[in-house]
Chains A and B, each alone.
Chain A
Protein backbone atom coordinates (compact mmCIF):
# COMPACT_ATOMS: atom_id res chain seq x y z
CA UNK A 1 0.00 0.00 0.00
CA UNK A 2 1.45 3.38 -0.96
CA UNK A 3 2.29 5.79 1.83
CA UNK A 4 1.28 9.38 2.33
CA UNK A 5 2.56 11.60 -0.46
CA UNK A 6 3.11 15.34 -0.37
CA UNK A 7 3.79 17.74 -3.19
CA UNK A 8 5.85 19.69 -3.78
CA UNK A 9 8.75 18.53 -1.63
CA UNK A 10 10.55 21.85 -1.72
CA UNK A 11 9.28 25.35 -2.34
CA UNK A 12 10.77 28.82 -2.28
CA UNK A 13 8.41 31.77 -2.12
CA UNK A 14 8.67 35.50 -1.59
CA UNK A 15 7.12 37.33 1.35
CA UNK A 16 3.57 38.38 0.53
CA UNK A 17 2.90 35.56 -1.91
CA UNK A 18 0.57 32.66 -1.26
CA UNK A 19 1.25 28.93 -1.46
CA UNK A 20 -0.77 25.73 -1.78
CA UNK A 21 0.53 22.39 -0.54
CA UNK A 22 -1.00 19.04 -1.40
CA UNK A 23 -1.33 15.79 0.51
CA UNK A 24 -2.57 12.42 -0.69
CA UNK A 25 -3.38 10.06 2.18
CA UNK A 26 -2.96 6.32 2.33
CA UNK A 27 -5.73 4.58 0.40
CA UNK A 28 -8.74 4.06 2.64
CA UNK A 29 -7.71 6.71 5.16
CA UNK A 30 -10.33 9.38 5.71
CA UNK A 31 -8.59 11.70 8.14
CA UNK A 32 -5.83 14.11 7.16
CA UNK A 33 -3.96 16.35 9.59
CA UNK A 34 -1.42 19.08 8.92
CA UNK A 35 1.52 20.13 11.10
CA UNK A 36 4.16 22.82 10.99
CA UNK A 37 7.67 22.03 12.21
CA UNK A 38 10.19 24.76 13.00
CA UNK A 39 13.41 24.64 15.05
CA UNK A 40 11.99 27.12 17.56
CA UNK A 41 8.42 25.90 18.03
CA UNK A 42 8.80 22.22 17.24
CA UNK A 43 5.88 20.30 15.77
CA UNK A 44 2.60 22.20 15.96
CA UNK A 45 -0.84 21.04 14.92
CA UNK A 46 -2.48 23.13 12.20
CA UNK A 47 -5.78 21.41 11.44
CA UNK A 48 -7.47 18.08 10.83
CA UNK A 49 -9.99 17.13 8.17
CA UNK A 50 -12.25 14.13 8.28
CA UNK A 51 -14.73 13.29 5.52
CA UNK A 52 -14.29 16.75 3.94
CA UNK A 53 -15.05 18.59 7.19
CA UNK A 54 -12.59 20.44 9.38
CA UNK A 55 -12.73 18.52 12.61
CA UNK A 56 -10.09 20.38 14.57
CA UNK A 57 -7.95 23.48 14.33
CA UNK A 58 -4.76 24.61 16.04
CA UNK A 59 -3.76 28.11 17.10
CA UNK A 60 -2.68 29.57 13.79
CA UNK A 61 -3.86 32.79 12.11
CA UNK A 62 -6.54 32.78 9.44
CA UNK A 63 -3.86 33.02 6.74
CA UNK A 64 -3.56 29.26 7.15
CA UNK A 65 -6.46 27.36 5.65
CA UNK A 66 -7.15 23.94 4.28
CA UNK A 67 -9.67 21.72 2.65
CA UNK A 68 -10.31 18.08 1.91
CA UNK A 69 -11.78 16.61 -1.24
CA UNK A 70 -14.16 13.70 -1.64
CA UNK A 71 -11.24 11.36 -2.43
CA UNK A 72 -9.68 12.37 0.94
CA UNK A 73 -6.84 14.30 -0.69
CA UNK A 74 -6.16 17.53 1.15
CA UNK A 75 -4.64 20.89 0.41
CA UNK A 76 -3.45 23.61 2.71
CA UNK A 77 -3.04 27.21 1.72
CA UNK A 78 -1.00 29.96 3.28
CA UNK A 79 -1.74 33.47 2.12
CA UNK A 80 0.37 36.61 2.52
CA UNK A 81 3.48 34.64 3.40
CA UNK A 82 5.76 35.87 6.17
CA UNK A 83 9.39 35.01 6.82
CA UNK A 84 8.28 33.11 9.92
CA UNK A 85 6.23 30.73 7.78
CA UNK A 86 9.44 29.07 6.63
CA UNK A 87 9.09 25.54 7.96
CA UNK A 88 8.66 21.88 7.21
CA UNK A 89 4.96 21.20 6.66
CA UNK A 90 3.94 17.66 7.43
CA UNK A 91 0.75 15.88 6.53
CA UNK A 92 -0.50 12.77 8.30
CA UNK A 93 -3.33 10.43 7.49
CA UNK A 94 -5.27 7.99 9.60
CA UNK A 95 -7.98 5.49 8.89
CA UNK A 96 -10.40 7.21 11.23
CA UNK A 97 -10.34 10.33 13.33
CA UNK A 98 -8.53 9.83 16.66
CA UNK A 99 -6.52 6.94 15.35
CA UNK A 100 -2.94 5.99 14.53
CA UNK A 101 -1.33 8.57 12.23
CA UNK A 102 1.06 8.00 9.34
CA UNK A 103 3.17 10.88 8.09
CA UNK A 104 4.25 11.98 4.64
CA UNK A 105 7.78 13.15 3.81
CA UNK A 106 6.86 16.81 4.20
CA UNK A 107 7.13 19.98 2.15
CA UNK A 108 9.99 22.28 3.04
CA UNK A 109 8.87 25.87 2.49
CA UNK A 110 11.35 28.72 2.44
CA UNK A 111 10.05 32.28 2.43
CA UNK A 112 12.54 34.96 1.35
Chain B
Protein backbone atom coordinates (compact mmCIF):
# COMPACT_ATOMS: atom_id res chain seq x y z
CA UNK B 1 0.00 0.00 0.00
CA UNK B 2 0.92 3.62 -0.10
CA UNK B 3 3.66 4.80 2.25
CA UNK B 4 3.45 8.22 3.85
CA UNK B 5 6.69 9.22 5.49
CA UNK B 6 7.14 12.36 7.53
CA UNK B 7 10.42 13.89 8.56
CA UNK B 8 11.89 14.70 10.91
CA UNK B 9 10.07 12.59 13.50
CA UNK B 10 10.98 15.03 16.28
CA UNK B 11 12.04 18.64 16.26
CA UNK B 12 13.01 20.92 19.14
CA UNK B 13 13.39 24.61 18.36
CA UNK B 14 13.74 27.87 20.17
CA UNK B 15 10.89 30.35 19.97
CA UNK B 16 11.28 32.55 16.90
CA UNK B 17 13.00 29.90 14.78
CA UNK B 18 11.78 28.72 11.38
CA UNK B 19 11.16 25.09 10.44
CA UNK B 20 10.36 22.91 7.46
CA UNK B 21 8.42 19.67 7.82
CA UNK B 22 8.36 17.17 4.99
CA UNK B 23 5.84 14.58 3.82
CA UNK B 24 6.78 12.02 1.16
CA UNK B 25 4.25 9.66 -0.36
CA UNK B 26 4.88 6.67 -2.54
CA UNK B 27 1.83 6.59 -4.80
CA UNK B 28 -0.56 8.82 -6.68
CA UNK B 29 -2.97 10.74 -4.49
CA UNK B 30 -6.17 12.70 -4.99
CA UNK B 31 -5.41 15.24 -2.31
CA UNK B 32 -3.30 16.00 0.74
CA UNK B 33 -4.01 17.71 4.06
CA UNK B 34 -1.82 19.00 6.86
CA UNK B 35 -3.10 18.90 10.45
CA UNK B 36 -1.84 20.06 13.82
CA UNK B 37 -2.81 17.90 16.78
CA UNK B 38 -2.88 19.88 20.00
CA UNK B 39 -2.08 18.39 23.44
CA UNK B 40 -5.77 17.59 23.98
CA UNK B 41 -5.91 15.43 20.87
CA UNK B 42 -7.86 17.80 18.62
CA UNK B 43 -6.79 17.67 14.98
CA UNK B 44 -6.83 21.15 13.50
CA UNK B 45 -6.89 21.73 9.78
CA UNK B 46 -3.94 23.66 8.49
CA UNK B 47 -4.03 23.18 4.74
CA UNK B 48 -5.93 21.25 2.12
CA UNK B 49 -3.33 21.26 -0.62
CA UNK B 50 -3.43 18.67 -3.42
CA UNK B 51 -0.93 20.77 -5.36
CA UNK B 52 0.64 24.19 -5.41
CA UNK B 53 1.41 26.59 -2.60
CA UNK B 54 -0.79 28.14 0.08
CA UNK B 55 -0.07 30.55 2.89
CA UNK B 56 -1.90 31.30 6.10
CA UNK B 57 -0.14 33.76 8.37
CA UNK B 58 3.14 32.30 9.60
CA UNK B 59 2.40 28.95 7.98
CA UNK B 60 2.70 27.96 4.36
CA UNK B 61 2.63 24.69 2.47
CA UNK B 62 3.75 23.44 -0.90
CA UNK B 63 2.77 20.18 -2.58
CA UNK B 64 4.55 18.88 -5.68
CA UNK B 65 2.27 15.98 -6.60
CA UNK B 66 4.37 14.90 -9.58
CA UNK B 67 7.37 14.41 -7.29
CA UNK B 68 5.24 13.02 -4.45
CA UNK B 69 6.10 15.33 -1.60
CA UNK B 70 4.71 18.18 0.42
CA UNK B 71 6.41 20.70 2.69
CA UNK B 72 5.00 22.63 5.62
CA UNK B 73 6.86 25.81 6.61
CA UNK B 74 6.47 27.41 10.01
CA UNK B 75 8.10 30.80 10.45
CA UNK B 76 8.78 32.71 13.68
CA UNK B 77 7.72 29.73 15.82
CA UNK B 78 5.68 30.32 18.96
CA UNK B 79 5.23 27.99 21.94
CA UNK B 80 1.63 27.45 20.86
CA UNK B 81 2.95 25.80 17.68
CA UNK B 82 4.07 22.84 19.78
CA UNK B 83 2.31 19.55 19.09
CA UNK B 84 2.27 16.89 16.42
CA UNK B 85 1.93 17.73 12.74
CA UNK B 86 0.37 15.14 10.47
CA UNK B 87 0.06 14.91 6.77
CA UNK B 88 -2.72 12.77 5.32
CA UNK B 89 -3.16 11.71 1.72
CA UNK B 90 -6.14 10.28 -0.10
CA UNK B 91 -4.98 7.31 -2.14
CA UNK B 92 -6.04 7.67 -5.78
CA UNK B 93 -6.79 4.01 -6.45
CA UNK B 94 -9.39 3.55 -3.67
CA UNK B 95 -9.92 7.00 -2.03
CA UNK B 96 -8.72 5.79 1.39
CA UNK B 97 -7.08 8.30 3.70
CA UNK B 98 -3.59 7.38 4.91
CA UNK B 99 -1.87 9.34 7.67
CA UNK B 100 1.84 9.71 8.20
CA UNK B 101 3.28 9.06 11.66
CA UNK B 102 3.69 12.75 12.32
CA UNK B 103 6.40 15.21 13.30
CA UNK B 104 6.47 16.10 16.99
CA UNK B 105 7.43 19.77 17.33
CA UNK B 106 8.48 21.28 20.64
CA UNK B 107 9.03 25.03 20.79
CA UNK B 108 11.07 26.22 23.76
CA UNK B 109 10.33 29.65 25.27
Contacts and interface: CB of A to CB of B under 8 A. Distances in A.
B107 interface: no
B42 interface: yes
B42 A55 contact: no
Nearest to B92: A98
B101 A103 contact: no
A98 B33 contact: no
Contacts of B58: none
B43 to A, nearest CB: 4
Contact of A100 (B42, B45, B96): B45
B30 interface: yes
A106 B33 contact: no
Nearest to A106: B41
A28 B99 CA distance: 25
A39 B73 CA distance: 25
B48 A45 contact: no
Contacts of A42: 99-102
B95 interface: yes
A105 B42 CA distance: 5
Contacts of A45: 96-99
B7 interface: no
Given A101-B33, A105-B41, A58 B90 contact: no
Interface of B: 30-31, 33, 35, 40-45, 48, 86, 88, 90, 94-102
Q: What are the nearest 4 A-B pairs in CB distance?
A: A43-B99, A103-B43, A100-B48, A106-B41
13 contacts: A42-B99, A42-B101, A45-B97, A45-B98, A56-B94, A56-B96, A58-B96, A90-B43, A98-B30, A99-B31, A100-B33, A101-B97, A105-B40
